[in-house]
Amino acid sequence: MKLSLNELEEQIVDAGYKLTFARKSITDIFLRYNDSQLTAEDFYKLINDSHEKIGIATIYRTLSLLTELGILSKLNLDDTHSRYELKNEGVLKCYMVCKSCGQIIGVQKIPLYALFSDVNDYFEFEIDSMNIIVKGLCASCHIISK
């Protein structure tokens, strides 16, 4: 389910926090770059390129708060930077990470839930979300490596 900017902002206010400029800017960016997994540095560049000024420390604090509130998911897809995306319960997400160039390809519509359909019964464990990280070479890097 895709949330609107107003719904995201309401979640922040309902949790007892003020809707600061930084929080508003970051939620807006998440909706504009919906299918991306962004780093704090990506946010810094996008916000400051739009002639607004928010410090990197404020961005890190805001991302941490939004993750704590359950609005964002923090992803560790590689060894360098944490990435963030809007949390979407009940959705299987697969990330393919190129070991050469670092490109990240997010895939949501893959038929893997069928593989895990018996987990709930067998282990008495209810899955509400899954993230799978696959590392290898993207098409471009695979061609170059030959």
Query: What is the predicted pLDDT for the residue at 105?
Result: 84
Q: Is 112:75 a contact under the CB 8 Å cutoff?
A: no
Tell me the CATH number at 72: 1.10.10.10
Pair 75, 111 in one domain: no
Pair 79, 110 in one domain: no
Pair 78, 114 in one domain: no
Does residue 17 register a pLDDT over 90? yes
Does residue 39 register a pLDDT over 80? yes
Pair 97, 81 in one domain: no
Tell me the CATH number at 139: 3.30.1490.190
Pair 99, 139 in one domain: yes
Pair 76, 119 in one domain: no
- Which residues span the domain enclosing 123? 92-145
Pair 112, 56 in one domain: no
Domain count of the chain? 2
Pair 55, 102 in one domain: no
Pair 57, 82 in one domain: yes
Pair 96, 130 in one domain: yes
C-alpha torsion angle, residues 57, 61, 64, 68 (rounded to 10) = 170
- 92 vs 83 pLDDT, higher one: 83
Pair 20, 61 in one domain: yes
Span 30-54, average pLDDT:
86
Does residue 126 register a pLDDT over 60? yes
